[in-house]
Amino acid sequence: MKIKERGLSPLFVIVTFIIVAIVLPSVFIFIRLFHPVTESWLHIKEYVLADYIRNSLVLVTGVGVITGILGTFFAWSLSKYKWRFELLLESILFLPMAIPPYIAGYVYGGIFTPFGTLDRILVQAGVEPIRIDILSKGGAIFVFSLFLMPYVILISKGFFDKLPKTIEESSRLLGRNQTSTFFRVILPMSRGSLVGGIVLVMLEVLNDYGLVRYFGIPTFSTAIYQTWFGMSDVDGAVRLAASLMSIVIIILLVEQFFRGRGRLSQARAISDRGVKKSASKIYKAVFYVLTFVYLLFSLIIPITQLAWWSSIAKQTNVMRRLGSILFNTISVGVIVTVLVVACGILIGNLNRLNPSIVSKIYARIVILGYSIPASIIAIGVLVTFIYVDRSLSGLYGILDVKNLFLTSSKFILIFALTIRFMAIGFNSIESGFSKMGKKYYEASKLLGRGEWYTFRYVDFPILKPAILSAAILAFVDVLKELPLTLILRPFNFDTLATRVYTYAGDEMIHEASVYSLIIICVSIFALILLSFIRKGTKI
């Protein structure tokens, strides 16, 4: 058995294939790093880069800190204490992520703009209008935080849920109070999953282009797109993206290094969390107030605004081909989700069973697709697929299919979305694996069970909450994904998100609202479905 583990296991081979698929488009991007330095790069560097990087840092830090603190608070509260309507509360707290930040940007822009909703309400109430400048860095941090927080909540909660109660009990027995237990024991232990969630949020902020453009805040993404769109210098744009990617990878590797030292193997991870207690009155009050405020700003206000805008949308054509749009959106969503989860499990499993430097590097590479603006990824994927198609042209001749068979099919879209959201799925699955250890796995193998059996009946049930989180995140992310879908889609292929773009891009926010609401509805439906699955399979 030992020998087998040292050799090339099938798992290793499969994972290597996946990693190659992820890396390939990035290779096509990195190659451009070696093209000669362009004049526009020098221009960008001289005039704007420093400012743009500063803006990016402000946004990323602000959003990271806010979502980190509040997200952890929500996750911990939900996981540790008993609440009324707990399941409902939990699902609702995840919902804001169904609203894409750039749509939220339009919504809050529309509320705080002169003659916006706030003005109208104040005028109705006979109060002098006040001017809140939402189109600012503070406003952007506010909007990003509201709608990205669920990433942190979901991933951290998945971890907290599986934390053995004994750890807390030991800490309390050894004389630490509750607060100190949380900050000195729980928090350090859960750093990995926390960082996982916050990193996703930060990357999302870093490569956003829609919201920052509307808000008039030039960021690093702006530099990339300005080089590309404004100065027609694709090489320069790719160079910027590649340097961004390198920085992200270095940060992640450093993080991984530090995390590696504090890692705990948890044999008892599946022990029951026991009966949840009620929180103290003050804690309850704080929790309810914060939850209410959060939901007010992240759901009630935006949905009301969207609903009102939808109601005054010009109805002509808005609902055209809704059936096929829904089918496209949901089928691509389901397929990509399944692929993302499957790849996440494979890579996570390799990392757990045969940890090595290679597998650790693999685990970090997964995040490649998430670390740079999607339009750049799109170019990489496009070039990769065209390359593959051209290599297969002989085969295509025999099969009598068109030259760019794969490139012009939905394969390319599914592929691109899968590598894009691999990070999402993997980060939450990894946080599931990280506290699982391999004792149960080894026990099962010793008892003579095969790999598949062991996975299905031993690992899978333990991992299930993490898998469900990964699935929700991936599915909702695909639902609202825009840049990749836009550019890689085949002819006449519309999704809900592309319809939102169609209208929002033309300042037709009323019509865009209709589709934004449908995205939210589909997400709600998916969340309900998943919470049923979760409820039905409590172990």
Partner 1 sequence: MQMNINIDYIWRKEMKKILSIIILAVLLVSVVGCGSEEEKMVNIYTDRHYDTDQALYDKFTEETGIVVNVVTAGSDELLERLSAEGEDTEADLIVTSDVGRLYRAGKMDLTKAFDSNTIEANVPEHLRATDNLWTALTVRARVITYALDRVDPNTLSTYEALTEPEWEGRVLVRSSGNIYNQSLLASFIALNGEEEAKEWAQGLVANLARTPKGNDRDQMKALVAGEGDVAIVNTYYVGKLLNSSDEVEVQVGEQIGVFFPNQETNGTHINISGAALTKYGANSEDAIELLEFLTGEEAQNDYASANYEYPVNEAVEPSDLLKSFGEFKVQNIDLSLLGEYNDEAVKLFNEVGWQ
List Cα–Cα distances, 190 to 256, 263, 347, in angstroms: 14, 10, 21
Quick one: which segment of 41-49, 252-260, 288-296, 428-436 binds partner 1 (CB under 8 A)? 41-49
409 binds partner 1 (CB under 8 A): yes
Cα 365 to Cα 351: distance, rounded to the nearest angstrom: 13
Tell me the C-alpha to C-alpha distance, in Å, between residue 173 and each of 169, 176, 178.
Answer: 6, 7, 11
Cα distance between residue 359 and residue 249, in whole Å: 15
DSSP 23-34: HHHHHHHHHGGG
The DSSP secondary structure of 356-389, one letter per residue, reads -HHHHHHHHHGGGGGSS-HHHHHHHHHHHHHHHH
Shortest distance in whole angstroms from residue 523 CB to partner 1: 19
List 252, 269, 378, 518, residue binding partner 1 (CB under 8 A):
378
Dihedrals phi, psi of 81, to nearest 5 degrees: -110, 165
Altogether, the residues listed in the chain come to a count of: 539
- Both tokens assigned to 109: 């822009």
Q: What minimum distance in Å lies between the beta carbon of 23 and partner 1?
A: 19
Per DSSP, what are the bridge partners of residue 81?
A: 277
Count of residues of this chain found to bind partner 1 when the rule CB under 8 A is applied: 77
Told to check if 226 binds partner 1 by CB under 8 A, we report: yes
- Nearer Cβ to partner 1, position 234 or 307? 234
Taking the least distance from each CB to partner 1, the nearer of 355 and 397 is: 397
Q: How far apart, in Å, are the Cα atoms of 423 and each of 29, 77, 415, 418?
A: 19, 26, 14, 9
Task: Give, in degrees to the nearest 5, the angle at Cα 453 between 448 and 457.
Answer: 110
The helix/strand/coil state of 314 is: coil
Q: Which stretch binds partner 1 (CB under 8 A): 184-192, 230-238, 240-248, 426-434?
A: 230-238
Considering the rule CB under 8 A, would residue 313 count as an interface residue with partner 1?
A: yes
Name the segment binding partner 1 (CB under 8 A); options: 40-48, 68-76, 165-173, 184-192: 40-48
Contact, 102 vs 208, CB < 8 A?
A: yes
Site for partner 1 in 4-33 (CB under 8 A): none
Q: How far apart are CA 195 and CA 364, in angstroms?
A: 13
Instruction: Find out whether 144 and 101 touch, Cβ atoms under 8 Å.
Output: yes
Regarding 382 and contact with partner 1 (CB under 8 A), the answer is: yes
Residue whose CB is less far from partner 1, 234 or 290: 234
Question: Considering beta carbons, is residue 96 or 109 the nearer one to partner 1?
Answer: 109
- Interface residue with partner 1, options 17, 37, 47, 265 (CB under 8 A): 47
CB closer to partner 1, 44 vs 345: 44
Question: Which residues within the stretch 275-294 sit at the binding site for partner 1 (CB under 8 A)?
Answer: none
Least distance (Å) between residue 234 CB and partner 1? 6
Report, in Å, the least distance between residue 368 CB and partner 1: 20
Q: Return the number of the residue (354 or 408) whose C-beta is nearest partner 1.
A: 408
In whole angstroms, give the CA distance from residue 99 to residue 203.
Answer: 17
Using CB under 8 A as the binding rule, the residues of this chain from 62 to 101 that contact partner 1 are none
55 and 218 in contact (C-beta within 8 Å)? yes
320 binds partner 1 (CB under 8 A): yes
Type of residue found at 290? L
Mask: binding to partner 1, 448-477, rule CB under 8 A, as x and -?
------------------------------
Least Å distance, CB 367 to partner 1, is 23
Regarding 389 and contact with partner 1 (CB under 8 A), the answer is yes
246 lies in the site for partner 1, by CB under 8 A: no
The smaller minimum CB distance to partner 1, of residues 225 and 294, is found at: 225
Residues 85 and 287 sit within 8 Å (Cβ to Cβ): no
Segment 97-136, which members bind partner 1 (CB under 8 A)?
Answer: 109, 113-116, 120, 135-136
Q: Rounded distance, CA 243 to CA 391, Å?
A: 30
Interaction between residue 230 and partner 1 (CB under 8 A): yes
- List the one residue from 12, 83, 151, 225 that touches partner 1 (CB under 8 A): 225
Which pair of tokens denotes residue 394? 């002989």
Tokens standing for 347? 């890579």
CB of 491 to partner 1, least distance (A): 4
The verdict on 492 binding partner 1 (CB under 8 A) reads yes
Question: Does 506 contact partner 1 by CB under 8 A?
Answer: yes
CB-neighbour burial class of residue 77 (10 A; exposed 0-12, middle 13-18, buried 19+) = buried
CB of 403 to partner 1, least distance (A): 4
Q: Closer to partner 1 by CB, 232 or 356: give it.
A: 232
Q: Among 410, 445, 464, 534, which residue interacts with partner 1 (rule: CB under 8 A)?
A: 410
**Contacting residues for 242 by C-beta, under 8 A, at least 6 apart:** 29, 30, 32, 33, 372
The secondary element (H helix, E strand) that includes residue 40 is: helix 39-47
Residues 182-221 that bind partner 1 (CB under 8 A): 213-218
Does 388 help bind partner 1 (rule: CB under 8 A)?
no
Identify which of residues 214 and 283 has a Cβ nearer to partner 1 in the complex.
214
Sole binder of partner 1 in the list 21, 167, 386, 530 (CB under 8 A): 386
The answer to whether 314 contacts partner 1 (rule: CB under 8 A) is yes
